[in-house]
Each structure stands twice: as structure tokens, then as C-alpha cells.
Amino acid sequence: MTILTKLGKALKTDISKDFKFKKSDDLDAQKNLLDYMKQRRTVKSLGKKVIYSRDYLTRLIKEAVHCCPSALNSQSVRVVILNDKAHYKFWKMVKAVQKNHVPEHIYESAVLRIEMCEEAFGTVLFFEDAQVVKALQKQKPLQAADFEVWSEQTSGMAQFAVWTAISSVGLGAALQHYNPMIDVETKALLNLPDSWDLKAQLVFGSIQKTADEKSYEDDDTLFRVFSEI
């Protein structure tokens, strides 16, 4: 529960000595981490009506990633934050790649989804540094295959943490997976190391239309609880 407690405190109070969330007098100030996790949804209709500064959001994203665990403290997550023209150019690139690689009848519907991403305020790109993973595989050859799995888990936790943090301040977000089709073009556009493997793209912004009601599987299907076996 250490990571949950740490992230929960970060979302409610201090992010750093110089970066604090102001507590309000309303009920929102009493939310705990589980409330923020429930608040995190896939919001497809996003806009640019964001009251927070880019610096504030950058520090929020950084602290969310810092809070996440990784196998043997590998810290293999790499993150790129795109704002303004960089955000726009990235999604223009995605559109161009899609046009060159997918059938026309599929592209027509795909371009609509990409344009919705363009309308968002910004994008967070999640990578895993393959160089870090390979180094750990050499150090611990008996667990070499496991590090590939652990790397994916590390990235997933970072994605969830950032998504939840963004949702906690009243913004919406949606996770995209245009990789690996755009891997080469992304590294070229942003001049990134070849060892950075793209895992996901999180677009975020103001909520223009709320997400639909979420349904859940029955608890009897999802969970089994034992006191004795």
C-alpha cells in the first residue's frame, strides 16, 4: 500500500516543496486515491480549455511517474510531453503514417479518431528504455525473459498513474496505441534514442463530453477471497 499512500498524498497535498495543490473547502478536497481512480475514465471528446499552466501539468506528470515502482528499481520508463505545436505536429505525423499504411476504407474512420486527438490539449508519450532492460537481463540471466514482462508492467503502472493524476485535477484523457506503426517516425520527429520503445500515447485536455456510464463484471466473477485453504 506504500505506493498508493504516496500517490494519494501527492494528489491531495504536496507534489514538492515548491509545488502544492491548493485545498478547497468543498467536498472534492476530501477525495482519496480510490475516488480519483474511479474518476479516471476514457474521455474521447477532449478540448483545449485548460486552466492549468503547462509547467504545472508537466510537474504533475513527472511526480506521478516518480511515484511508480519498477522491477529492481530499474526506472526504465521514459516519458515525452507534447504541448502546442509539438502536440499538433505529432498527430499530423500519425495521420500521415496511417494514410500510407492502412487501406483507404479503414483510414477514413481512423482519421476521425486522430483528429479528435489533435483537438486535445497535449499528449504524453510512454516509452521503455530497452537498453536498461537488456542490462538487467545480462545481470540476471536466469530471469532474462521475465524482465520483458516486468518492463510492460512498469510502463502500465506509469500510464495509469499519469492518467489518474490528470483526472484528479478535472481533466480528461484517453490512451492510444498507434505504435508500433509510428515508432520510426516518432523517434525521427523527436530525435529520440533508438533504445526507446514506444508503448502508448495519452492525449489529455478539457472534458468536452463526459464518458458513458461504466459497467462492471459481477464480483463473484472477478474475485475469490480465501482465509483458509
38-84: per-residue pLDDT in tens?
999 999 999 999 999 999 999 999 999 999 999 999 999 999 999 99
Q: Are 45 and 117 in contact (CB under 8 A)?
A: no
Look at residue 129 in the predicted model and tell me its pLDDT: 98
Measured CA distances, 140 to 74, 145, 146 (Å): 13, 10, 10
Distance CA(13)–CA(16), nearest Å, equals: 9
Q: Are 50 and 121 in contact (CB under 8 A)?
A: yes
**Upstream peptide bond of 180 is cis (omega within 30 degrees of 0):** yes
74-133 pLDDT, tens digit per residue, is: 999 999 999 999 999 999 999 999 999 888 888 888 999 999 999 999 999 999 999 999
Domains of the chain: 42-210 (3.40.109.10)
Give the CA angle between residues 178, 181, 185 to the nearest 5°: 100
DSSP state of 72: G
Distance CA(28)–CA(39), nearest Å, equals: 11
Of 198, 202, 48, which is closest to residue 123 (Cα–Cα)?
202
Q: Are 164 and 37 in contact (CB under 8 A)?
A: yes
pTM given for the model? 0.86
The β-bridge partners of 201 are: 125, 176
Distance CA(45)–CA(121), nearest Å, equals: 11
Provide φ and ψ at 47, rounded to 5°.
Answer: -135, -170
Cβ partners under 8 Å of residue 102, min gap 6: 110
Look at residue 13 in the predicted model and tell me its pLDDT: 43
Provide φ and ψ at 146, rounded to 5°.
Answer: -70, -30
Other beta carbons less than 10 A from residue 220's beta carbon: 7
Distance CA(150)–CA(131), nearest Å, equals: 14
Distance CA(118)–CA(116), nearest Å, equals: 5
- Look up residue 20 and give its three cell numbers: 502544492
Is it the case that residue 188 has pLDDT exceeding 80?
Answer: yes
Q: pLDDT grade, residue 29 (50/70/90)? A: low
